[in-house]
Amino acid sequence: MQLMKSSRRQFLNLATGAIALPFVPRPAKAESYPSRPVRVVVGFGPGVTPDISARLMAQRLSERLGQQFVVENRTGSAGNVGTELVAKASPDGYTLLLITTANAINLTLYDHLNFNFIHDIAPVAGISHGPLVVAVNPALPAKTIAELIAYAKANPGKINMASAGDGTIQHVSGELFKMMANVDMVHIPYRSSYVPDLLSGQVQIAFNPIPTLIGYIRSGQLRALAVTGARRAPALPDVPTVSETVPGYEAVSWYGYGAPRNTPAERIEKLNAEINAALTEPTIVARLADLGAEPMTMTPAGFDQLLVDESEKWGKVVKAANIKVE
């Protein structure tokens, strides 16, 4: 919705006779959007993948639209603190949210939120999506997903599966695998990095974003059994997908921008067009590839459907696995 500047009313005086003409309103001049800095709220700390993804797009939007898109980190409650802030912000297009897979999971994981993610956040545009990698300590004898399943069934409860915490994408991805493959692995949640324990063999497996582990995989310190997307990952082209062994399995980490519900549609459409255009630029594509991700161009309606589908999918996993948070 275009904001209208108040038109000035002027008297036009004729030099001869100083006759005042009636009030003649000037046509109002529409305010262009954005006309001032835009705040982008990220519910996670600086330097992690969500923050990097948000800043990458914010910088490009600043360049394309001529106004600063300023990232503001509001951490807490797995992204819920930042999401609530945006849900209650003025719906004018000047406060945006970095939406992540955590938002879809949290909808079911947390019982008493002061907002409804699906109802209170309007989807603007996708940014990127990328699979996780199923990585194991080389001491685990399994070299394929089929061998992992066989070993897990022969040794129920003997494999420790690390994650970044209860209800994280790493956790629910592993729980989905356990259900679909009908295996028993013990979940070990960490508050700090579990990579040292994975390297030492104290935990044997993790479903983890590719960039964190790819160096260890290439050096042979960890073994990649599969990636969790629908197709093989460009960063690990020789590594098969889980779905090649477990049909229908898919777990993807994704990011996008959202805004408070009732943000003017024309502003959302403008942001969507600019973001989608930026996602075709080779430099942006290359930067996303460094993060183990690919561009996720879609309409607001398409992104909305993704949010609904992912919330339903992970909600079922949270309930089936009886995942709780403190």
Query: What pLDDT, in 10s, does the model give residues 89-136?
Result: 999 999 999 999 999 999 999 999 999 999 999 999 999 999 999 999
Confidence of residue 41 (pLDDT cuts 50, 70, 90): very high
Q: pLDDT by residue (tens digit) across 193-240?
A: 999 999 999 999 999 999 999 999 999 999 999 999 999 999 999 999
Alpha-carbon gap, residue 6 to 20, rounded angstroms = 22
Residue ranges covered by each domain of the chain:
38-130+254-320, 131-244
Query: Quick one: pLDDT at residue 326?
Result: 73
In CATH terms, the fold of domain 131-244 is: D-Maltodextrin-Binding Protein; domain 2 (3.40.190)
Percent above pLDDT 90 for the chain? 89
* Residues sharing a CB contact under 8 Å with residue 245, sequence separation 6 or more, in sequence order: 144, 145, 146, 149, 226
Say yes or no to pLDDT of 19 above 90: no
Say yes or no to pLDDT of 29 above 60: no
Q: How much is the CA Rg of the chain, to the nearest whole Å?
A: 24
Strands 223-227 and 121-136: antiparallel
Q: What is the mean pLDDT of the chain?
A: 91
Going by CATH, does the domain composed of 38-130+254-320 fall within 3.40.190.150? yes
Say yes or no to pLDDT of 15 above 70: no
What's CA 223's distance to the chain center, in Å? 26
Alpha-carbon gap, residue 105 to 269, rounded angstroms = 26
Same fold, 38-130+254-320 and 131-244: yes
Say yes or no to pLDDT of 46 above 50: yes
Query: Quick one: pLDDT at residue 12?
Result: 29
